[in-house]
Structure 1
Amino acid sequence: MWRNNSFVSRGGIWVLAQVPLMLLAFIVPIRFGAGQIIPLHPLAWLGALVTVAGGALIIWGFVSLGDALTPFPRPLDGVTLHRQGAFRLMRHPIYTGVILASLGWTLWWLCGIGMLPVLALAIFFDRKAAYEENWLREKYRDYGDYARRVKKFIPGVY
């Protein structure tokens, strides 16, 4: 049982910090890209497919977490470690899905400068995941074994 259940102690600052980064990843490609909402260029079509794949991964991650779903990095009390569904392939499928959808959105809008917010999101979620994993290791004694078997973001790679 966690002693302090405040917004900050649950990792709320991480949640707040991701909002402007995600907004930038959404807005910058629209503002500075050469694409349009209906993809016409082959790269824009690829981007649309990657965006949809990222969205599907986010949804699969939500469903796979079930009752353990929380926006905060600190895991909820009374839930078990989830290793099924999307979590069989990667430890952080929701973060991966957001990064993937952002990359796809940037390609969709044909926006080179849009890669900067995507890169910032990737670095941010890598750090947030590392922070979150400290709590997961503390709460679940078998988390270390799971982390050795399952990669963080890219199955078999990273």
Structure 2
Amino acid sequence: MITGDPTTRGRGLVAAQMALIAALVLRPRRDRWRRRPRGLLRVAGGVLLAAGAVVGGLGARRLGPALTPMPQPRPGATLRTDGVYGVVRHPIYAGLVLGAVGRAATTGLGRHVVAAGALVGVLTLKVRDEEVLLRERFPDYDAYAERTPRLLPGVGARRRPPPA
């Protein structure tokens, strides 16, 4: 259950999300005391950034005109359960998390690590609110959530055994 007005809370979460994304995207100023990550950490960060862009982009594309930054589904939207939405329930948020962690890994800046962690927290709240609203709107959402992980493939879905 969402306490308070879901639209007001949704706007606050979107504002926090955008501010944290901006903190991650803005070019870091020179810091002569910081050592830039090298080698495997930097490569892994780049891979995570690219994976986040692909996963998030696929999710946004699949939603099409139903895409909204707000947790409330748009009027007339349908529940998407195929494509990337058949792998995870929230691919755009998963992409944002992957990208944020990748950015923090590639820059090595403490402020990016903090912003990535804070973004995970904001998106966790947003996902919870969004799922309440999706359950209210779509009667099939519980069955979809039963078989599909929230953010990471293989993590979080309560898969039922196949019928005998």
TM value normalised by structure 1: 0.83
Instruction: Choose which of 98, 104, 107 in structure 2 pairs with 1:106.
Output: 104
Partner in structure 2 of residue 126 of structure 1: 124
Partner in structure 1 of residue 3 of structure 2: none
**1:12 positional shift:** 2.2
**1:18 positional shift:** 1.0
* Contact in 1 for aligned 2:10/2:126 (Cα 8 Å): no
**1:52 positional shift:** 0.8
Q: Are 1:15 and 2:14 counterparts?
A: yes
**1:112 positional shift:** 5.0
Instruction: Give 5+ residue unaligned stretches, structure 2.
Output: 1-5, 157-164
Cα deviation, 1:46-77, whole Å, max 9, x if unaligned, reads 21111011111111111111232111110011
Partner in structure 2 of residue 4 of structure 1: none
**1:40 positional shift:** 5.3
Instruction: Choose which of 69, 77, 80 in structure 2 pairs with 1:79.
Output: 77
* Contact in 1 for aligned 2:87/2:148 (Cα 8 Å): yes
* Contact in 2 for aligned 1:53/1:101 (Cα 8 Å): yes
Partner in structure 1 of residue 24 of structure 2: 25
Query: How many residues matched?
Result: 148
Matches of 1:47 and 1:10, distance apart in 2: 32
Instruction: Choose which of 135, 138, 142 in structure 1 pairs with 2:136.
Output: 138
Partner in structure 1 of residue 61 of structure 2: 63
Instruction: Choose which of 98, 113, 116 in structure 2 pairs with 1:115.
Output: 113
* Contact in 2 for aligned 1:51/1:104 (Cα 8 Å): yes
What secondary structure sits across from 1:11 in the alignment?
Answer: helix
* Contact in 1 for aligned 2:68/2:74 (Cα 8 Å): yes
State the identity as a percent: 34
Matches of 1:142 and 1:88, distance apart in 2: 14
Matches of 1:129 and 1:42, distance apart in 2: 31
Partner in structure 2 of residue 34 of structure 1: 35
Name the amino acid aligned to 1:46.
Answer: A
Cα deviation, 1:112-136, whole Å, max 9, x if unaligned, reads 5532221111111011000011110
**1:15 positional shift:** 1.3
Pairwise CA RMSD: 2.3
Instruction: Give 5+ residue unaligned stretches, structure 1.
Output: 1-6
Matches of 2:72 and 2:13, distance apart in 1: 10
Cα deviation, 1:87-106, whole Å, max 9, x if unaligned, reads 11111110110110011111
* Contact in 2 for aligned 1:21/1:121 (Cα 8 Å): yes
